[in-house]
Amino acid sequence: MNRYIEIECYDDLEPLLFPGNLLEHYAFQNIAFERNAVQCRFQDCIFFGCSMPDVMRNELAPDCCVLPALPVPFNLFPAHLYSPAELYAGFDFRNSDTFLQCYDTRIYTHYISQGKQAADIAETVARSLHDHSISDALHDMLERYDERRVVAVMGGHTLLRTDEMYRKVVIIGKHLAEKGALIVTGGGPGAMEAAHLGVWLAGRHDSVVDDAIAMLSLAPSYKDEGWLVSAFGLMEKLPRINDCCSIGIPTWFYGHEPATPFATHIAKYFDNSIREDGLLAIAKGGVIYSPGSAGTMQEVFQDAAQNHYLTCGYASPMVFLGSEYWTDTLPVYPLLKGLCEKGRYKNLLLSVTDEPSDAVREVMKFVNNK
């Protein structure tokens, strides 16, 4: 049970502002209090990055907690997840040079200047407060969904847009979204971008996938000039015709990899460990693994441990896309299967396939079998 009622915009606050009203057990985020708030009393309230008249501040009860802003170029208390427009505010895809001035780039530049492991206590506190707010906003959004419909797609950030596997992941993201799944990824390029592109195209005929990929193929890698420009160009030419959402969960720790703008919501963190663990924990509908390297391997075994110990209450499917890759190139699938047979792992729901339709079917079978 929540002890505090969260107020995140002035419209929600205004009905409470009448003479003599006692506001108790409220948490206010980024509210600019006006003088009419002086007529109220506040007790056991938390103020996150709020501004208020001095007379109001002086009258707060001793058990109120005021957390002011710190001198950093980012909002410590975001009340909602970032949209691509907010994260890339200041970027005009018709002028690629503007990327250097956009909000996301300015934060990353500051982050690097302070060090990935910052020594300054004000900086570390600011990052922690920001990440806490992002986790809170992520939790608020996930409450709108059946937890079993939250499905993660993992895979390498180096996957080229021209690779056949990229197309397969687009199809998976598209078909899962059309069946009511909420797709979550690490929010970066490669396989992660492909999954969000699929959600973006949901509701259109599958043939549009090839048209979209053709538009993006001029910049196959996120390292290529025009990678981000082509994404925004596609979004303008093929706007969404659906209300399907997807969540990208990137981090400034890997800030050299641009966050995909195809995600409708972006939960960007400073702390990569919080992001990694949280991404797997919320994917209670299962995880689809396309080929990847060290990061994807880490996620596989972290996910396996969560399922083995039923950390989230039950085990979810682990679907490996790419039979040759996962059985020969990186033989993770036979390893996990063998360990299950020996009793070293329990509860794992393993499958391997080359077909997007099989991956979608395996996940939806679990999602719908309550």
**CATH number for position 210:** 3.40.50.450
The pLDDT of residue 1 is: 61
60/150 same-domain check:
no
The pLDDT of residue 39 is: 95
Which of these three, 50, 67, 84, is where a domain ends? 67
Q: Tell me: pLDDT of 69 over 90.
A: no
The pLDDT of residue 159 is: 98
185/315 same-domain check:
yes
157/63 same-domain check:
no
Q: Tell me: pLDDT of 208 over 80.
A: yes
Which of these three, 17, 45, 67, is where a domain ends? 67
Which of these three, 18, 34, 67, is where a domain ends? 67
Q: Which domain holds residue 37?
A: 5-67
20/165 same-domain check:
no
Q: Could you tell me the pLDDT band of residue 172, with boundaries at 50, 70 and 90?
A: very high
For the segment 111-149, what is each residue's pLDDT rounded down to a tens digit? 999 999 999 999 999 999 999 999 999 999 999 999 999
Residues 72 and 270: their CA atoms lie apart, in Å, by 13
167/28 same-domain check:
no
Q: Tell me: pLDDT of 292 over 90.
A: yes
The pLDDT of residue 337 is: 98
57/149 same-domain check:
no
171/318 same-domain check:
yes
Let me know if residue 46 belongs to a domain: yes
Domain count of the fold of the chain: 2
170/259 same-domain check:
yes
Span 215-237, average pLDDT:
97
Let me know if residue 280 belongs to a domain: yes
Let me know if residue 153 belongs to a domain: yes
352/251 same-domain check:
yes
Q: Tell me: pLDDT of 77 over 80.
A: yes
Let me know if residue 161 belongs to a domain: yes
- Residues forming beta bridges with residue 147, ordered by sequence position: none
49/154 same-domain check:
no
Let me know if residue 328 belongs to a domain: yes
Let me know if residue 177 belongs to a domain: yes
DSSP 38: G
Task: Provide the sign of the torsion angle of the four alpha carbons 289, 292, 296, 297, taken in this order.
Answer: positive
Let me know if residue 80 belongs to a domain: no
Give the rounded distance of the alpha carbon of 224 from its chain centre.
24
**Which contiguous run of DSSP H or E holds residue 41?**
strand 41-43
The radius of gyration of the chain from alpha carbons, rounded to an integer in Å, stands at 22
218/350 same-domain check:
yes
- For the chain, first and last CA: distance in Å? 25
Residues 45 and 56: their CA atoms lie apart, in Å, by 13
Q: What is the number of alpha carbons within 13 Å of residue 239 lying toward its C-beta? A: 2
The pLDDT of residue 7 is: 96
Let me know if residue 330 belongs to a domain: yes
The pLDDT of residue 369 is: 87
168/61 same-domain check:
no
What angle separates helix 272-282 from helix 121-142, to the nearest 10 degrees?
A: 10
Q: Tell me: pLDDT of 370 over 70.
A: no
Span 156-162, average pLDDT:
97
